[in-house]
Homo-oligomer: A and B are copies of this chain.
């Protein structure tokens, strides 16, 4: 159960509530937002109605769901993340583009200039790369962060990069504008909490086989620590399908927009693993109501140190951007509101 307290609750009232709940065998889990407390335990001992009658309690949400603060019931309007004049979750979708991994100064600067020239505002690039094998290239680490920083200085692009471990959250937050939590760590709850305790926006990528319940439950871990600047990202699920690396599941886009106030973007590069279908799937993502897309582009894809089959060639990327801009223009005119 989730208990929302009156904003003007007194300290004594709050203590009294906690004591009562504790006395009935409930566990209390509190976060930074003092007006929300969550309890776990046996409902039949102290039913919802009794708790609602305690002084200082505004409402009790007797939810089966793993989440509450991420829902539109909690916050009806869209969450719009503003960052140096760039907004995510607003009327206009954003494109995030860049290489899979930061490889060298030349590579990242060339890519930065390319994406900036196409009107992109946010660049991706991995400095810490999770890889299936311990013997694969796992990123330039802090050196990679520094190169991203340099790219930002030279182009004004915002930077998003992945953080893999609780111990690195501060370091990555120092260099990056947005923290990315990858699919493999979607249920690394200590990392989610650490991301929730700092103030950078967080992009949370859906796990390979995450249900909606689990995806939003993970977002709730972040928001429950006080950080509501969360961008959800659909990046393909694991199915039996053999013609795409993963199955990009666009259906989740309108479903999320109904349930949650958080923005959701789509990553067709990881979602399909095929650069030859990035363009139609990007347009499809936007038509489904996504708040943006994230794509991989590399100055020389076959030379890429990771995922060479899915990065776009520069000319492909420029053509994609043209199509996307046409589409955005249309979406604006047609007033297809992606957010109900």
A130-B189, A327-B287 known; A276 vs B249 contact (CB < 8 Å): no
- Decide if A269 is an interface residue (CB 8 Å cutoff): no
Copies in the assembly, this chain = 4
Q: Are B165 and A40 in contact (CB under 8 A)?
A: no
- Stretch among A78-86, A113-121, A134-142, A147-155 lining the B interface: A134-142
Q: Which of A228-252 contact B (CB under 8 A)?
A: 237-244, 247-252
- Decide if A217 is an interface residue (CB 8 Å cutoff): yes
- For A41, the chain B residues whose CB sits under 8 A away are 137
- Decide if A284 is an interface residue (CB 8 Å cutoff): yes
Chain A residues near B (Cβ < 8 Å): 2, 27, 29, 31, 38-41, 65-67, 130-138, 164-167, 184-185, 187-190, 193, 207-209, 211-214, 217-218, 220-221, 224, 237-244, 247-255, 258, 271-272, 274, 276-277, 280-281, 283-289, 305, 323, 326-327, 330, 334, 336, 338
Q: List 27 contacting pairs A-B, 8 Å CB cutoff, sorted by A.
A: A29-B134, A31-B134, A40-B136, A40-B305, A67-B133, A130-B189, A132-B214, A133-B220, A134-B193, A134-B221, A134-B224, A135-B220, A165-B190, A185-B188, A209-B209, A211-B240, A211-B242, A213-B242, A239-B249, A240-B240, A241-B251, A251-B277, A258-B276, A280-B288, A287-B287, A326-B330, A330-B334
- For A251, the chain B residues whose CB sits under 8 A away are 241, 243-244, 247-248, 271-272, 277, 281
- For A138, the chain B residues whose CB sits under 8 A away are 29, 189
